[in-house]
Structure 1
Amino acid sequence: MKGWQAGLIHWREPRAIRALAVLVAASMAFFGSTVTAAATVNPYESSRIGVVGCSNTADILSRYAGSSAVDNVWFDNINYGGGHLAVWADIEGQGASYWTSFQDNLETYGASSVWVQVCIRDNWTSASGMTEEQQALLTTVVDHIRELTSPTIDIYVSPLNSYLIHSCDLIGPYSVDNSIELADWAASTGLGLRGPDIGPLTPQMLAPDGCHPRGEGRTLGGQQIAAFFDQVDTASAPGSPDAYLLWLQGELGNRWLCSSTLRAAGLP
Protein backbone atom coordinates (compact mmCIF):
# COMPACT_ATOMS: atom_id res chain seq x y z
CA MET A 1 0.00 0.00 0.00
CA LYS A 2 1.36 3.40 -0.96
CA GLY A 3 1.96 6.06 1.64
CA TRP A 4 -0.77 8.38 0.44
CA GLN A 5 -3.30 5.51 0.43
CA ALA A 6 -2.41 4.62 3.99
CA GLY A 7 -2.74 8.25 4.97
CA LEU A 8 -6.17 8.44 3.37
CA ILE A 9 -7.36 5.39 5.29
CA HIS A 10 -5.83 6.82 8.46
CA TRP A 11 -7.84 10.00 8.12
CA ARG A 12 -11.02 8.00 7.61
CA GLU A 13 -10.62 6.37 11.01
CA PRO A 14 -13.04 7.55 13.74
CA ARG A 15 -10.31 8.94 15.95
CA ALA A 16 -8.93 11.00 13.08
CA ILE A 17 -12.37 12.36 12.34
CA ARG A 18 -12.81 13.10 16.03
CA ALA A 19 -9.49 14.93 16.07
CA LEU A 20 -10.44 16.98 13.08
CA ALA A 21 -13.69 17.98 14.76
CA VAL A 22 -11.79 18.97 17.89
CA LEU A 23 -9.34 20.99 15.81
CA VAL A 24 -12.15 22.84 14.07
CA ALA A 25 -13.88 23.57 17.38
CA ALA A 26 -10.64 24.78 18.93
CA SER A 27 -9.91 26.94 15.93
CA MET A 28 -13.37 28.51 16.12
CA ALA A 29 -12.90 29.23 19.81
CA PHE A 30 -9.47 30.68 19.13
CA PHE A 31 -10.76 32.88 16.32
CA GLY A 32 -13.67 34.07 18.43
CA SER A 33 -11.31 35.28 21.12
CA THR A 34 -8.87 37.06 18.81
CA VAL A 35 -10.69 38.43 15.79
CA THR A 36 -11.89 42.00 16.21
CA ALA A 37 -15.30 43.29 15.19
CA ALA A 38 -13.80 44.86 12.07
CA ALA A 39 -12.85 41.43 10.68
CA THR A 40 -16.38 40.72 9.49
CA VAL A 41 -15.48 38.39 6.62
CA ASN A 42 -13.57 35.15 6.49
CA PRO A 43 -11.47 35.84 3.38
CA TYR A 44 -11.99 32.30 2.11
CA GLU A 45 -15.72 32.84 1.71
CA SER A 46 -15.53 34.77 -1.54
CA SER A 47 -13.46 36.17 -4.34
CA ARG A 48 -16.21 38.65 -5.17
CA ILE A 49 -15.65 42.36 -5.70
CA GLY A 50 -17.56 44.63 -3.34
CA VAL A 51 -19.13 47.92 -4.41
CA VAL A 52 -19.43 51.47 -3.08
CA GLY A 53 -21.18 54.09 -5.19
CA CYS A 54 -24.48 55.76 -5.99
CA SER A 55 -27.65 55.18 -8.02
CA ASN A 56 -25.68 55.45 -11.27
CA THR A 57 -23.51 52.60 -10.02
CA ALA A 58 -26.58 50.46 -9.34
CA ASP A 59 -28.05 51.30 -12.75
CA ILE A 60 -24.89 50.15 -14.50
CA LEU A 61 -24.60 46.99 -12.44
CA SER A 62 -28.17 46.03 -13.32
CA ARG A 63 -26.83 45.06 -16.77
CA TYR A 64 -23.45 43.77 -15.61
CA ALA A 65 -24.33 40.12 -15.05
CA GLY A 66 -25.53 39.65 -18.60
CA SER A 67 -22.18 40.85 -19.92
CA SER A 68 -19.77 39.15 -17.51
CA ALA A 69 -18.29 35.69 -17.89
CA VAL A 70 -17.56 35.39 -14.18
CA ASP A 71 -20.06 37.62 -12.30
CA ASN A 72 -17.47 38.49 -9.67
CA VAL A 73 -18.79 42.00 -8.91
CA TRP A 74 -21.71 42.53 -6.54
CA PHE A 75 -24.77 43.35 -8.62
CA ASP A 76 -27.70 42.46 -6.35
CA ASN A 77 -29.04 44.59 -3.50
CA ILE A 78 -27.01 47.68 -4.43
CA ASN A 79 -29.28 50.13 -2.60
CA TYR A 80 -27.09 53.18 -2.98
CA GLY A 81 -29.46 55.85 -4.30
CA GLY A 82 -28.15 59.27 -3.27
CA GLY A 83 -24.83 57.78 -2.18
CA HIS A 84 -22.49 60.55 -3.19
CA LEU A 85 -19.00 60.79 -1.74
CA ALA A 86 -19.78 63.19 1.10
CA VAL A 87 -22.60 60.93 2.30
CA TRP A 88 -20.41 57.82 2.39
CA ALA A 89 -17.75 59.79 4.26
CA ASP A 90 -20.28 60.75 6.95
CA ILE A 91 -19.97 57.26 8.41
CA GLU A 92 -21.98 57.67 11.60
CA GLY A 93 -24.46 60.16 10.15
CA GLN A 94 -25.97 60.29 6.67
CA GLY A 95 -23.80 57.41 5.54
CA ALA A 96 -24.85 54.97 8.27
CA SER A 97 -27.57 53.27 6.21
CA TYR A 98 -25.24 52.95 3.22
CA TRP A 99 -22.57 51.26 5.30
CA THR A 100 -25.21 48.96 6.76
CA SER A 101 -26.15 47.94 3.22
CA PHE A 102 -22.47 47.48 2.36
CA GLN A 103 -21.89 45.28 5.42
CA ASP A 104 -25.01 43.23 4.70
CA ASN A 105 -23.67 42.47 1.23
CA LEU A 106 -20.23 41.84 2.69
CA GLU A 107 -21.65 39.20 5.01
CA THR A 108 -23.75 37.69 2.22
CA TYR A 109 -21.27 37.65 -0.66
CA GLY A 110 -17.86 38.37 0.84
CA ALA A 111 -15.27 40.49 -0.94
CA SER A 112 -11.66 40.01 -1.95
CA SER A 113 -11.49 43.53 -3.38
CA VAL A 114 -13.79 46.55 -3.58
CA TRP A 115 -14.78 48.89 -6.41
CA VAL A 116 -15.53 52.52 -5.47
CA GLN A 117 -17.27 54.74 -8.00
CA VAL A 118 -16.79 58.38 -7.00
CA CYS A 119 -20.10 60.25 -7.27
CA ILE A 120 -20.01 63.95 -6.37
CA ARG A 121 -23.03 66.23 -5.98
CA ASP A 122 -22.95 69.76 -7.38
CA ASN A 123 -22.47 71.47 -4.00
CA TRP A 124 -19.27 69.47 -3.42
CA THR A 125 -17.66 70.18 -6.80
CA SER A 126 -15.05 72.74 -7.74
CA ALA A 127 -14.56 74.68 -10.96
CA SER A 128 -10.82 74.88 -10.25
CA GLY A 129 -10.31 71.13 -10.05
CA MET A 130 -10.06 68.49 -7.36
CA THR A 131 -9.95 69.84 -3.80
CA GLU A 132 -8.22 68.72 -0.61
CA GLU A 133 -11.65 68.34 0.95
CA GLN A 134 -12.64 65.86 -1.75
CA GLN A 135 -9.38 63.98 -1.20
CA ALA A 136 -10.13 63.79 2.52
CA LEU A 137 -13.63 62.45 1.86
CA LEU A 138 -12.33 59.72 -0.44
CA THR A 139 -9.59 58.81 2.03
CA THR A 140 -12.19 58.45 4.79
CA VAL A 141 -14.27 56.10 2.63
CA VAL A 142 -11.28 53.97 1.59
CA ASP A 143 -9.96 53.75 5.15
CA HIS A 144 -13.35 52.62 6.44
CA ILE A 145 -13.59 49.93 3.76
CA ARG A 146 -10.24 48.60 4.95
CA GLU A 147 -11.42 48.68 8.55
CA LEU A 148 -14.41 46.52 7.59
CA THR A 149 -12.49 44.12 5.36
CA SER A 150 -8.70 43.95 5.39
CA PRO A 151 -5.93 46.56 5.67
CA THR A 152 -4.40 45.18 2.48
CA ILE A 153 -7.52 44.72 0.36
CA ASP A 154 -7.34 46.05 -3.21
CA ILE A 155 -9.66 49.01 -3.76
CA TYR A 156 -10.38 50.13 -7.32
CA VAL A 157 -11.43 53.76 -7.69
CA SER A 158 -13.40 54.98 -10.71
CA PRO A 159 -14.88 58.35 -11.64
CA LEU A 160 -18.54 58.92 -12.25
CA ASN A 161 -19.69 57.89 -15.71
CA SER A 162 -18.96 60.53 -18.34
CA TYR A 163 -21.51 62.18 -20.64
CA LEU A 164 -21.12 62.93 -24.32
CA ILE A 165 -23.17 66.07 -23.71
CA HIS A 166 -23.45 67.23 -20.10
CA SER A 167 -27.07 67.39 -19.01
CA CYS A 168 -27.21 66.46 -15.31
CA ASP A 169 -28.11 69.31 -12.97
CA LEU A 170 -27.74 67.12 -9.87
CA ILE A 171 -23.99 66.89 -10.27
CA GLY A 172 -23.26 70.18 -12.02
CA PRO A 173 -20.69 70.76 -14.77
CA TYR A 174 -17.57 69.85 -12.78
CA SER A 175 -18.43 66.59 -11.04
CA VAL A 176 -17.16 64.21 -13.71
CA ASP A 177 -13.85 66.06 -14.10
CA ASN A 178 -13.37 66.24 -10.32
CA SER A 179 -14.07 62.53 -9.97
CA ILE A 180 -11.60 61.68 -12.75
CA GLU A 181 -8.92 63.68 -10.95
CA LEU A 182 -9.75 61.94 -7.67
CA ALA A 183 -9.52 58.47 -9.21
CA ASP A 184 -6.18 59.33 -10.81
CA TRP A 185 -4.96 60.87 -7.54
CA ALA A 186 -5.93 57.76 -5.57
CA ALA A 187 -3.94 55.57 -7.97
CA SER A 188 -0.91 57.87 -8.01
CA THR A 189 -0.70 58.10 -4.22
CA GLY A 190 -1.31 54.42 -3.52
CA LEU A 191 -4.63 55.04 -1.81
CA GLY A 192 -6.21 52.65 -4.30
CA LEU A 193 -5.96 51.21 -7.78
CA ARG A 194 -7.36 52.89 -10.88
CA GLY A 195 -10.74 51.46 -11.75
CA PRO A 196 -12.59 51.41 -15.06
CA ASP A 197 -14.03 54.42 -16.86
CA ILE A 198 -17.73 54.31 -17.72
CA GLY A 199 -19.20 56.07 -20.74
CA PRO A 200 -19.42 58.40 -22.44
CA LEU A 201 -23.20 58.17 -22.33
CA THR A 202 -25.19 59.86 -25.07
CA PRO A 203 -28.48 61.68 -24.37
CA GLN A 204 -30.35 58.67 -25.80
CA MET A 205 -28.75 56.47 -23.13
CA LEU A 206 -30.08 58.55 -20.24
CA ALA A 207 -33.28 58.79 -18.23
CA PRO A 208 -35.38 61.98 -18.62
CA ASP A 209 -33.45 63.58 -15.74
CA GLY A 210 -30.34 63.61 -17.94
CA CYS A 211 -28.31 61.93 -15.19
CA HIS A 212 -29.04 58.24 -14.84
CA PRO A 213 -28.22 55.53 -17.36
CA ARG A 214 -31.11 53.61 -18.87
CA GLY A 215 -31.47 51.07 -21.65
CA GLU A 216 -28.37 51.21 -23.83
CA GLY A 217 -26.60 53.33 -21.22
CA ARG A 218 -26.92 50.60 -18.61
CA THR A 219 -25.88 47.99 -21.15
CA LEU A 220 -22.77 49.96 -22.15
CA GLY A 221 -21.79 50.52 -18.53
CA GLY A 222 -22.36 46.86 -17.67
CA GLN A 223 -20.17 45.79 -20.58
CA GLN A 224 -17.40 48.18 -19.56
CA ILE A 225 -17.46 46.94 -15.96
CA ALA A 226 -17.37 43.33 -17.14
CA ALA A 227 -14.53 43.99 -19.59
CA PHE A 228 -12.42 45.43 -16.76
CA PHE A 229 -13.22 43.19 -13.81
CA ASP A 230 -13.40 39.92 -15.73
CA GLN A 231 -9.65 40.41 -16.17
CA VAL A 232 -8.95 40.94 -12.46
CA ASP A 233 -6.96 37.99 -11.18
CA THR A 234 -8.47 36.75 -7.92
CA ALA A 235 -6.20 33.68 -7.75
CA SER A 236 -4.02 35.32 -5.11
CA ALA A 237 -6.78 37.42 -3.59
CA PRO A 238 -8.00 36.81 -0.02
CA GLY A 239 -10.76 34.62 -1.45
CA SER A 240 -8.39 31.95 -2.79
CA PRO A 241 -7.60 28.65 -1.01
CA ASP A 242 -3.87 29.46 -0.83
CA ALA A 243 -4.62 32.77 0.84
CA TYR A 244 -7.00 31.02 3.22
CA LEU A 245 -4.24 28.68 4.36
CA LEU A 246 -2.00 31.66 5.05
CA TRP A 247 -4.85 33.37 6.88
CA LEU A 248 -5.50 30.23 8.92
CA GLN A 249 -1.84 29.91 9.80
CA GLY A 250 -1.74 33.53 10.88
CA GLU A 251 -4.86 33.18 13.02
CA LEU A 252 -3.50 30.08 14.77
CA GLY A 253 -0.24 31.89 15.33
CA ASN A 254 1.89 28.74 15.37
CA ARG A 255 1.65 24.96 15.16
CA TRP A 256 1.30 24.43 18.87
CA LEU A 257 -2.49 24.52 18.88
CA CYS A 258 -2.67 21.97 16.07
CA SER A 259 -0.25 19.53 17.68
CA SER A 260 -1.68 19.86 21.18
CA THR A 261 -5.22 19.36 19.87
CA LEU A 262 -4.21 16.18 18.05
CA ARG A 263 -2.49 14.86 21.18
CA ALA A 264 -5.60 15.60 23.21
CA ALA A 265 -7.58 13.50 20.76
CA GLY A 266 -5.21 10.57 21.25
CA LEU A 267 -3.28 10.87 18.02
CA PRO A 268 0.53 10.82 17.80
Structure 2
Amino acid sequence: MTTASQAPSLSLTGKKVVVVGGKTGIGLGIARVALAAGATVVVASRRITSLEARPDLAGFQQANLDMRDEAAVRAAFAAIGPFDHLVVTAAPDIGTWGGFMDADMSGVRSYVEGKFLGTWACARYAAPLLGKGGTMTFLSGGMAVRPKLGFTAVTSSFAAVEALSASLAVELAPTRVNTIRPGYVETDMWNFLPAEVRAGMSQQVAASFPARRAGQAEDIAHAALFLMTNPYVTGTVLDVTGGENLVNSIG
Protein backbone atom coordinates (compact mmCIF):
# COMPACT_ATOMS: atom_id res chain seq x y z
CA MET A 1 0.00 0.00 0.00
CA THR A 2 1.27 3.47 -0.90
CA THR A 3 1.61 5.79 2.08
CA ALA A 4 1.62 9.55 2.06
CA SER A 5 5.40 9.58 2.46
CA GLN A 6 5.75 7.46 -0.70
CA ALA A 7 3.54 9.65 -2.87
CA PRO A 8 5.27 11.14 -5.92
CA SER A 9 6.69 14.60 -5.38
CA LEU A 10 6.06 17.51 -7.75
CA SER A 11 9.57 18.79 -7.07
CA LEU A 12 12.09 19.01 -9.93
CA THR A 13 14.97 20.03 -7.69
CA GLY A 14 18.25 18.84 -9.17
CA LYS A 15 16.64 18.04 -12.53
CA LYS A 16 17.30 19.58 -15.95
CA VAL A 17 14.35 20.26 -18.24
CA VAL A 18 14.51 21.15 -21.94
CA VAL A 19 11.45 22.88 -23.39
CA VAL A 20 11.46 23.13 -27.18
CA GLY A 21 9.33 26.16 -27.97
CA GLY A 22 9.78 27.43 -24.42
CA LYS A 23 9.89 31.17 -25.07
CA THR A 24 6.23 31.80 -25.87
CA GLY A 25 2.73 30.61 -25.05
CA ILE A 26 2.27 27.18 -23.51
CA GLY A 27 5.98 26.41 -23.75
CA LEU A 28 6.88 29.47 -21.71
CA GLY A 29 4.25 28.54 -19.15
CA ILE A 30 5.79 25.08 -18.79
CA ALA A 31 9.31 26.52 -18.55
CA ARG A 32 8.22 28.86 -15.75
CA VAL A 33 6.51 26.11 -13.77
CA ALA A 34 9.52 23.80 -14.14
CA LEU A 35 11.81 26.58 -12.94
CA ALA A 36 9.54 27.24 -9.95
CA ALA A 37 9.64 23.50 -9.16
CA GLY A 38 13.42 23.70 -8.82
CA ALA A 39 14.66 22.58 -12.23
CA THR A 40 17.40 24.00 -14.38
CA VAL A 41 15.49 24.92 -17.53
CA VAL A 42 16.75 25.19 -21.11
CA VAL A 43 14.41 26.93 -23.56
CA ALA A 44 15.15 25.93 -27.14
CA SER A 45 14.03 27.89 -30.19
CA ARG A 46 15.18 28.96 -33.64
CA ARG A 47 17.21 31.89 -32.33
CA ILE A 48 18.93 33.12 -29.19
CA THR A 49 17.09 36.09 -27.66
CA SER A 50 18.90 38.90 -25.89
CA LEU A 51 17.97 39.53 -22.27
CA GLU A 52 17.64 43.21 -23.12
CA ALA A 53 14.78 42.31 -25.45
CA ARG A 54 13.32 39.64 -23.14
CA PRO A 55 14.34 40.19 -19.50
CA ASP A 56 11.75 37.59 -18.50
CA LEU A 57 14.07 34.91 -19.90
CA ALA A 58 16.84 35.71 -17.42
CA GLY A 59 16.21 32.58 -15.35
CA PHE A 60 16.60 30.20 -18.28
CA GLN A 61 19.42 28.80 -20.36
CA GLN A 62 18.88 29.10 -24.10
CA ALA A 63 19.61 26.76 -27.00
CA ASN A 64 19.38 27.30 -30.73
CA LEU A 65 17.19 24.61 -32.29
CA ASP A 66 15.27 24.55 -35.58
CA MET A 67 12.91 21.56 -35.59
CA ARG A 68 12.83 21.44 -39.40
CA ASP A 69 16.61 20.95 -39.60
CA GLU A 70 17.70 17.52 -38.35
CA ALA A 71 21.36 18.51 -38.23
CA ALA A 72 20.48 21.54 -36.12
CA VAL A 73 18.42 19.37 -33.75
CA ARG A 74 21.29 16.91 -33.40
CA ALA A 75 23.78 19.71 -32.73
CA ALA A 76 21.50 21.40 -30.23
CA PHE A 77 21.09 18.31 -28.07
CA ALA A 78 24.79 17.49 -28.31
CA ALA A 79 25.48 20.97 -26.92
CA ILE A 80 22.85 20.65 -24.19
CA GLY A 81 24.25 17.34 -22.93
CA PRO A 82 22.63 15.02 -20.37
CA PHE A 83 19.29 16.08 -18.93
CA ASP A 84 16.13 14.64 -17.37
CA HIS A 85 12.93 15.82 -19.03
CA LEU A 86 12.09 16.83 -22.61
CA VAL A 87 8.97 18.86 -23.43
CA VAL A 88 8.21 19.64 -27.09
CA THR A 89 5.59 22.34 -27.57
CA ALA A 90 6.85 24.06 -30.72
CA ALA A 91 4.83 24.02 -33.93
CA PRO A 92 4.90 25.88 -37.26
CA ASP A 93 3.31 29.31 -37.29
CA ILE A 94 -0.45 29.79 -37.60
CA GLY A 95 -1.59 29.60 -41.21
CA THR A 96 1.49 27.83 -42.57
CA TRP A 97 -0.31 24.54 -43.26
CA GLY A 98 -1.56 23.84 -46.74
CA GLY A 99 -5.00 22.81 -47.89
CA PHE A 100 -5.74 19.25 -48.96
CA MET A 101 -6.38 20.24 -52.59
CA ASP A 102 -3.73 22.95 -52.93
CA ALA A 103 -1.93 23.11 -56.26
CA ASP A 104 1.09 21.51 -54.59
CA MET A 105 1.84 19.93 -51.23
CA SER A 106 4.56 22.33 -50.09
CA GLY A 107 2.48 23.79 -47.27
CA VAL A 108 1.40 20.39 -46.01
CA ARG A 109 4.94 19.01 -46.20
CA SER A 110 6.28 22.02 -44.32
CA TYR A 111 3.74 21.68 -41.52
CA VAL A 112 4.11 17.91 -41.14
CA GLU A 113 7.90 18.25 -41.18
CA GLY A 114 7.80 21.01 -38.58
CA LYS A 115 5.30 19.44 -36.18
CA PHE A 116 5.49 15.67 -36.54
CA LEU A 117 8.97 15.01 -37.90
CA GLY A 118 10.33 17.86 -35.79
CA THR A 119 8.95 16.21 -32.66
CA TRP A 120 10.36 12.89 -33.87
CA ALA A 121 13.83 14.44 -34.35
CA CYS A 122 13.80 16.04 -30.91
CA ALA A 123 12.87 12.71 -29.33
CA ARG A 124 15.44 10.85 -31.43
CA TYR A 125 18.40 12.99 -30.35
CA ALA A 126 17.22 13.53 -26.79
CA ALA A 127 16.68 9.85 -25.99
CA PRO A 128 20.34 8.90 -25.42
CA LEU A 129 20.81 11.92 -23.13
CA LEU A 130 17.92 11.32 -20.71
CA GLY A 131 18.81 10.18 -17.23
CA LYS A 132 17.15 7.52 -15.08
CA GLY A 133 13.49 8.43 -14.55
CA GLY A 134 13.55 10.66 -17.62
CA THR A 135 10.45 11.68 -19.55
CA MET A 136 9.30 13.09 -22.85
CA THR A 137 6.12 15.13 -23.14
CA PHE A 138 4.68 16.20 -26.48
CA LEU A 139 1.86 18.60 -27.35
CA SER A 140 -1.01 17.93 -29.75
CA GLY A 141 -4.45 19.57 -29.79
CA GLY A 142 -8.17 18.92 -29.89
CA MET A 143 -8.19 18.63 -33.67
CA ALA A 144 -6.44 15.28 -33.29
CA VAL A 145 -9.89 13.86 -32.52
CA ARG A 146 -12.21 16.66 -33.70
CA PRO A 147 -11.19 17.59 -37.25
CA LYS A 148 -12.14 20.97 -38.71
CA LEU A 149 -12.62 21.96 -42.32
CA GLY A 150 -9.35 23.15 -43.87
CA PHE A 151 -7.08 21.77 -41.14
CA THR A 152 -6.26 18.32 -42.52
CA ALA A 153 -2.49 18.79 -42.13
CA VAL A 154 -2.91 19.94 -38.52
CA THR A 155 -5.28 17.10 -37.61
CA SER A 156 -3.01 14.51 -39.22
CA SER A 157 0.11 15.88 -37.55
CA PHE A 158 -1.49 16.02 -34.11
CA ALA A 159 -2.75 12.45 -34.43
CA ALA A 160 0.69 11.33 -35.59
CA VAL A 161 2.36 12.98 -32.59
CA GLU A 162 -0.02 11.15 -30.25
CA ALA A 163 0.72 7.84 -31.98
CA LEU A 164 4.45 8.57 -31.77
CA SER A 165 4.30 9.10 -28.02
CA ALA A 166 2.49 5.79 -27.48
CA SER A 167 5.00 3.96 -29.64
CA LEU A 168 7.98 5.53 -27.91
CA ALA A 169 6.55 4.71 -24.48
CA VAL A 170 7.08 1.06 -25.50
CA GLU A 171 10.27 1.45 -27.50
CA LEU A 172 12.12 3.68 -25.03
CA ALA A 173 10.83 2.13 -21.77
CA PRO A 174 11.44 2.80 -18.94
CA THR A 175 11.65 6.38 -20.23
CA ARG A 176 8.09 7.64 -19.92
CA VAL A 177 6.53 9.32 -22.95
CA ASN A 178 3.18 11.14 -22.95
CA THR A 179 1.23 13.76 -24.88
CA ILE A 180 -0.86 16.65 -23.62
CA ARG A 181 -3.90 17.49 -25.72
CA PRO A 182 -4.90 21.06 -24.75
CA GLY A 183 -8.17 22.74 -25.51
CA TYR A 184 -8.59 26.45 -26.12
CA VAL A 185 -5.85 28.32 -24.26
CA GLU A 186 -5.42 32.10 -24.13
CA THR A 187 -1.87 32.67 -25.37
CA ASP A 188 -0.07 34.96 -27.79
CA MET A 189 -0.56 32.44 -30.58
CA TRP A 190 -3.95 34.11 -31.13
CA ASN A 191 -2.48 37.61 -31.45
CA PHE A 192 -2.90 37.51 -35.22
CA LEU A 193 -6.64 37.97 -34.59
CA PRO A 194 -8.18 41.36 -33.71
CA ALA A 195 -8.58 41.95 -29.97
CA GLU A 196 -12.37 41.92 -30.19
CA VAL A 197 -12.33 38.52 -31.90
CA ARG A 198 -10.04 37.07 -29.22
CA ALA A 199 -12.29 38.48 -26.50
CA GLY A 200 -15.33 36.96 -28.18
CA MET A 201 -13.67 33.54 -28.34
CA SER A 202 -12.81 33.65 -24.64
CA GLN A 203 -16.34 34.70 -23.77
CA GLN A 204 -17.77 31.86 -25.85
CA VAL A 205 -15.50 29.37 -24.11
CA ALA A 206 -16.42 30.67 -20.64
CA ALA A 207 -20.11 30.41 -21.48
CA SER A 208 -20.07 26.95 -23.04
CA PHE A 209 -17.20 24.86 -21.64
CA PRO A 210 -17.99 23.03 -18.36
CA ALA A 211 -14.96 24.65 -16.66
CA ARG A 212 -16.66 28.01 -17.32
CA ARG A 213 -13.45 29.79 -18.20
CA ALA A 214 -10.81 29.89 -20.91
CA GLY A 215 -7.64 27.89 -20.46
CA GLN A 216 -4.35 29.47 -19.45
CA ALA A 217 -0.79 28.39 -20.19
CA GLU A 218 -0.39 27.59 -16.49
CA ASP A 219 -3.13 24.94 -16.75
CA ILE A 220 -1.12 23.05 -19.36
CA ALA A 221 2.07 23.63 -17.39
CA HIS A 222 0.53 22.01 -14.31
CA ALA A 223 -0.30 18.95 -16.41
CA ALA A 224 3.26 18.82 -17.77
CA LEU A 225 4.66 18.94 -14.24
CA PHE A 226 2.40 16.03 -13.28
CA LEU A 227 3.60 13.98 -16.25
CA MET A 228 7.24 14.71 -15.48
CA THR A 229 6.94 13.69 -11.84
CA ASN A 230 4.41 10.83 -11.69
CA PRO A 231 6.42 7.61 -12.21
CA TYR A 232 3.43 5.48 -13.22
CA VAL A 233 2.05 7.44 -16.18
CA THR A 234 3.31 6.63 -19.66
CA GLY A 235 1.91 6.16 -23.15
CA THR A 236 -1.12 8.33 -22.43
CA VAL A 237 -2.79 11.37 -23.97
CA LEU A 238 -3.85 13.77 -21.23
CA ASP A 239 -6.80 15.98 -22.16
CA VAL A 240 -6.58 19.45 -20.58
CA THR A 241 -9.56 21.05 -22.26
CA GLY A 242 -11.93 22.48 -19.68
CA GLY A 243 -14.47 19.95 -20.94
CA GLU A 244 -14.30 21.10 -24.57
CA ASN A 245 -14.78 17.52 -25.75
CA LEU A 246 -18.21 17.49 -24.07
CA VAL A 247 -19.69 20.42 -25.98
CA ASN A 248 -19.69 21.96 -29.43
CA SER A 249 -16.21 23.39 -29.97
CA ILE A 250 -15.57 27.02 -30.86
CA GLY A 251 -14.61 28.06 -34.34
* Structure-1-length-normalised TM-score: 0.43
Q: Which has a greater percent of helix?
A: 1
| Higher normalized contact order (CA 8 Å, seq sep 6+, divided by chain length) | 1
Q: Which has a greater percent of strand?
A: 2
Larger radius of gyration: 1
